[in-house]
Chains A and B, each alone.
Chain A
Amino acid sequence: MELFATIFAMTYQFGDAFSFLVISCAGLAVIFGMMGIINLAHGEFIMCGAYVTAAAARVGLPLPLAILCGALVAGIVGMAIERTVVRHLYHRPLDSIIATWGISLIATQGVLIVLGSTMQGIGTPPGSVAVGARSFSLYRLVLMAAAAGLLVGLYLLFYHTRFGVIARATIQRPQMARALGVDTSRIYALTFGLGAALASLAGGLYAPTMTMVPTMGATFIVESFVTVVVGGADIFVGAPAAAAILAVIKASMTAWYGQLFGQIGLLIAVIVVIRVLPGGLSAWLKKTRQ
């Protein structure tokens, strides 16, 4: 029983780190991994999702609906930003960094001015699971299920729907897609909106567990960029593998030496991967498969 409890505890910690990496990187994987926009406003989409979720939950919406509400709002905001700003920067990656960074500054300072330096949290849904002498938050297990659901859902969306096929075609071969009658600019807007909505989903899912401040998105940034960079261009092959490897590194380093070494481990891993596998895990996995 004690052995089982220990294994459960280790698995739980791995799952917790894994779900944080997957959920926080999903939006960035679509916008940066697929579309190639280095989106420095990723954290602000997350913050937007968290704030809308909290506001919706406060007026009485059940939490899952509130989270979807946040994703919807951020998705629409994302599409608006794509239409007005990002659209002009598809072939200017360096400019897209500056532009999205500007959006990020405007968003955090704007929220600070309008809504103040802090917002009342909504509290984690109650419930804990006891395994042996330890007890675990039930909501963290829900987050793990959400991470798995997110991966499956994205896979189905991009590989088994018409939108997914068209979106991948548009991003890989825009001229060819246009020649076949695809409205590529609409697809770009929808994909960017989807990325924003996914980022916002991360904010909504983690909002009940966190302090709500305008800069809260910043705590997701390092983890999400590291996961996407380690994962490489093909997000469906790369991101889950990257999240799994990084979660093992982070959970075990944190367990043995504390949070500081968990972060150091994460950053060393990304340096090693960039140096050894410039195309990320997905490029390497694909090459070995051929």
Chain B
Amino acid sequence: MTPSPDNRRYQEFMRRVLQQDQVDVVFAGFSSASREAYRPIVNQFDGLAFYNNQYEGGVCDANMIVTGAVPEQQFSTLIPWMMETYGPNVYTIAADYNFGQISAEWVRKIVDDEGGTMVGEEFIPLGVSQFSQTIQNIRESGADFVVTLLVGAAQASYYEQAASANVGLPMASSVNVGQGYEHKRFTPPSLAQMHVTTNYIEEIDTPESKAFVEKFRAAYPDEPYINQEAANSYIAMYLYKQLVERAGGTDHDAIRAVIAGGDVCFDGPSGNVCLDPKSQHMSHTIYLAKVEDDHSISFPKVWENIAPYWLGQAGCDLTQNDPSAQYTPSNPPSAN
């Protein structure tokens, strides 16, 4: 089922598939708002849900398996690289909801750890499409690069307006290109100098990736782009198959026992990925995708096999107990 982007619909559908249809597994949600809307219902009925999009991290919940990349994979790689390449002064503009707020907190923490300076940070209400003043604030801040954590079509107008005002600053993001393939949709060079860390996009030039693109195109010839969600959903499906086969059924306790073994891995479109038993998140090879002036993609850097380590190090261990909570750097599990 594809609910419209309305969180209440996600809740309705989740309740229906778990309570009425009694499904064994759900693959659900595109935004963090929708995931946090349905997660209590998955907990209530002790279901099993896969979330296959990158997000702000921190969900420690035995009923959830996350195949998307998290901040220690996307930001701990991207931000230090950007600071080393372009300079230590960082300006963040972020969508004003849980994803943007928590992602911005990660950026702030990493910039601080690396000895940089946050010269500005602004949260943009969803639906805002006019960025003149924001662009001027960024220019006056002396930033070396801008972290854009913008979400939705209205906010995406920022790139066109910044390019037209000749801002000329490099941009860094965890959401663009890998999800909305803006480099294909927008007129060049509005997204030029955008740097995104992602675990998969169709431009990745490895044998595994090429084979995946070929298979995907054969199955869905009309899809405009093969993004990270396509790869993550593919991984999720095969991961679940493996879990059920090894557990000898769909029983959740048996599946969790298999996960606790710590050897659930899969050779996917982005290479080998493994499921971390403590957090039930995936390890990923992370590619730094840089958008060039003509909107082609280059990969200046690749980080191999980064584990989703933060939750485990901070004290989340789903093999021991299940707090079913979402944590952030300022609100880690050990504090609770």
Contacts and interface: CB of A to CB of B under 8 A. Distances in A.
B160 A20 contact: no
A227 interface: no
A263 B129 CA distance: 12
Interface stretch (B150-158, B244-252, B263-271): B150-158
B185 A258 contact: no
Interface string B130-145: 1011101101100000
B187 interface: yes
A262 B96 CA distance: 14
A90 interface: no
Contacts of A124: 160-161, 163-164, 190
Contacts of A167: none
A121 B130 contact: no
A210 B164 contact: no
A257 to B, nearest CB: 9
A252 to B, nearest CB: 9
A120 B137 CA distance: 28
A13 B133 contact: yes
Interface residues of A, number: 40
A29 B123 CA distance: 31
B307 interface: no
A133 B166 CA distance: 12
A193 B186 CA distance: 32
B237 interface: no
Contacts of B132: 12-13, 16-17, 140
Contact of A137 (B96, B122, B133, B161): B161
Contacts of B23: none
A243 to B, nearest CB: 14
B129 A219 contact: yes
A130 B188 CA distance: 22
Interface string A244-259: 0000000100110011
Contact of B160 (A123, A128, A218): A123
A216 B160 CA distance: 15
A76 to B, nearest CB: 27
B136 A13 contact: yes
Contact of A211 (B96, B124, B156): B156
B186 A135 contact: no
A259 B124 contact: yes
B128 A263 contact: yes
A158 interface: no
A213 B165 CA distance: 23
A216 B125 CA distance: 15
B125 A263 contact: yes
Interface string A111-124: 00000001011111
B130 A20 contact: yes
Interface in A200-232: 208-211, 213, 215-216, 218-219
A215 B155 CA distance: 13
Nearest to B127: A219
A139 interface: yes
B26 to A, nearest CB: 23
A106 to B, nearest CB: 16
B161 to A, nearest CB: 6
Contacts of B125: 259-260, 263
A232 to B, nearest CB: 24
A259 B134 contact: yes
Interface in B169-195: 185-187, 190
A263 B140 CA distance: 22
Nearest to A262: B133
A268 to B, nearest CB: 15
Nearest to A10: B136
A178 interface: no
A163 interface: no
Contacts of A159: none
Contact of B153 (A134, A138, A208, A215): A215
Interface of A: 9, 12-13, 16-17, 20, 118, 120-124, 126, 128, 130, 133-140, 208-211, 213, 215-216, 218-219, 251, 254-255, 258-260, 262-263
15 contacts: A13-B136, A16-B130, A16-B132, A118-B153, A122-B187, A124-B164, A126-B164, A128-B164, A134-B136, A210-B160, A211-B153, A254-B133, A260-B123, A260-B125, A263-B128
Interface of B: 96, 122-125, 127-130, 132-134, 136-137, 139-140, 153-154, 156-157, 160-161, 163-166, 185-187, 190
8 closest cross-chain pairs (CB), A and B: A123-B187, A124-B164, A128-B166, A137-B164, A213-B153, A219-B129, A254-B133, A16-B132
